[in-house]
């Protein structure tokens, strides 16, 4: 299975489409929980999400290509959640003035 937009040398050896589809839901849940924890001021809980995710993928991280793919995806996911948090904070600050 290949991941669109990822250079061939970084293509991880992923299982079939059923598992890949689960990854989409995991990513959505990860971003949602990150956003909820940020909005609630529970910043350490965000670290817990990513620690749990890394523990679950520990053996797969030995594969350098997968580790790079995983790191890029994780940082992108975290970045999107932080941008959402900042946008919501900016909108909220303007609403209560």
Q: What is the pLDDT of residues 17-31, one digit of tens each?
A: 566 677 788 889 999
Give a yes or no: residue 7 inside a domain: no
CB 61 within 8 A of CB 70: yes
Write phi, then psi, for 42 (nearest 5 degrees): -95, 70
pLDDT surpassing 80 at residue 63 = yes
The pLDDT score that the predictor gives to residue 54 is 86
Q: What is the mean pLDDT of residues 80-88?
A: 94
Contacts of residues 50-55 at CB distance under 8 Å and 24 or more positions apart, as own/partner, are 50/74, 50/78, 53/26
Quick one: pLDDT band at residue 2, thresholds 50, 70, 90? Answer: low
Give a yes or no: residue 81 inside a domain: yes
The pLDDT score that the predictor gives to residue 97 is 45
Q: What range defines the domain where residue 46 resides?
A: 17-95
3-class secondary-structure state, position 2: coil
Give a yes or no: residue 9 inside a domain: no
3-class secondary-structure state, position 82: helix
Give a yes or no: residue 52 inside a domain: yes
Give a yes or no: residue 65 inside a domain: yes
Give a yes or no: residue 83 inside a domain: yes
Query: What is the total count of domains within the chain?
Result: 1
């Amino acid at each position: 299975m290949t991941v669109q937009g990822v250079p061939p040398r970084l293509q991880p050896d992923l299982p079939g489409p059923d598992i890949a589809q689960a990854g989409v839901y995991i990513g959505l849940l990860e971003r949602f929980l990150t956003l909820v924890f940020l909005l609630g001021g529970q910043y350490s809980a965000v670290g817990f999400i990513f620690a749990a995710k890394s523990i679950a993928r520990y053996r797969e991280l030995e594969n350098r290509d997968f580790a790079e793919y995983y790191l890029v995806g994780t940082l992108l996911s975290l970045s999107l959640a932080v941008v959402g948090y900042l946008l919501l904070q900016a909108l909220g600050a303007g609403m209560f003035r």
